[in-house]
Structure 1
Amino acid sequence: MNKEAIQRVSEAIAGRIDAALNAALRSPLPVKRVIVAPPTKDHLEVMQVVLFPYRLAVNTALRNTERVLPPSGPHGTPVVFNDALPLDVFYLITVGTTHTDDLESQLWLGTVMQALQQNPTLSGAAVDGDTVRISLEPAVLDEMSRVWAMFPDADYRTSVIYVASPVWIDPLSEDVAHPVIDQQSRFGQADGASLQ
């Protein structure tokens, strides 16, 4: 993906959550129920779910690997990125306060978690042909307190943290791997005599 990678992954997750909430609430028309934004008081009051990418980290397992994209067609060549940046994007998912009591908001959060657990992989055109896995991240109380401390005007709401990985940000230049046209195998000793 390019510089839009984080945005595209966020929109794909929000779309999946919107679809799950609309289905659970039997909405005859698709309604936008998720906002990708910080959990401020204003956002919590107008949306059912707030999805906030609060932390980015380099994926250390993929950091020094080359990224090879398959050919775009039957006669194309693979594209290789030697300096692509693999990220783990951490999302805070919390429920809003719009027209609900706490029990109903727990139902919304359960619906979100069920949808992400049932189908934890993003792929296809929405994420530019990549495959991104979404998984629940254990969060200790200290980390959750630090996240919510960034928003002093918002009251704490029951929240979970998910991580999307890997989210690739590709460099502007790419290396094109040329197809193998001729393969010569030589064997024998190379001591001045011709190889047979």
Structure 2
Amino acid sequence: MARLILFNKPFGVLSQFTDRGSPTERATLSDFITVKGVYPAGRLDRDSEGLLLLTDDGRLQARIADPRFKLPKTYLVQVEGDPQEPELERLRLGVRLKDGLTLPAEALRIDAPDLWPRDPPIRVRQSIPDSWLKITLREGRNRQVRRMTAAVGLPTLRLVRWSIGDWTLAGIAPGQFADITA
């Protein structure tokens, strides 16, 4: 059986076990994951939080990370602005980015989720409202959610990956992990 780790990656942590060549020491997976022989199945940017899967099975790792399998990834996204139906519809139809048109996404406006506080907190501007979206993608381009929301005029303030396929963060605190068999 393959080993699978569901890790709630905190803000500011690299999605790798080492930080070679950096003049400053940045937090890595090795600061949180003591399990040997597991590797990330995909990535999550340093300034993003949430679910990162790690496994000891190369085939499972490829199935999770490879865009050909179109495994849905759901994000809770705090954006600057007041999203209306036209912006949401653009996300649902696909957004033209520098590297081409994205696949259609599921995009819903949601109430603020009950999440842990982010450290450091997001910047707040009193004159500009912020809102929450739930966005599900079936592809994984570099910084895709951030680029999509910016393209429709809603810059991302906070990005939390909540689920990958059927695996979710439910019950896993930031910096903690659940070790399961897949």
Kindly indicate which of the two structures has a greater share of residues assigned to helix: 1
TM-score (norm 1): 0.28
* Structure number with bigger Rg: 1
Considering fraction of residues, name the structure with more strand.
2
TM-score, reference length from structure 2: 0.30
Higher RCO, Cα 8 Å, sep 6+: 2
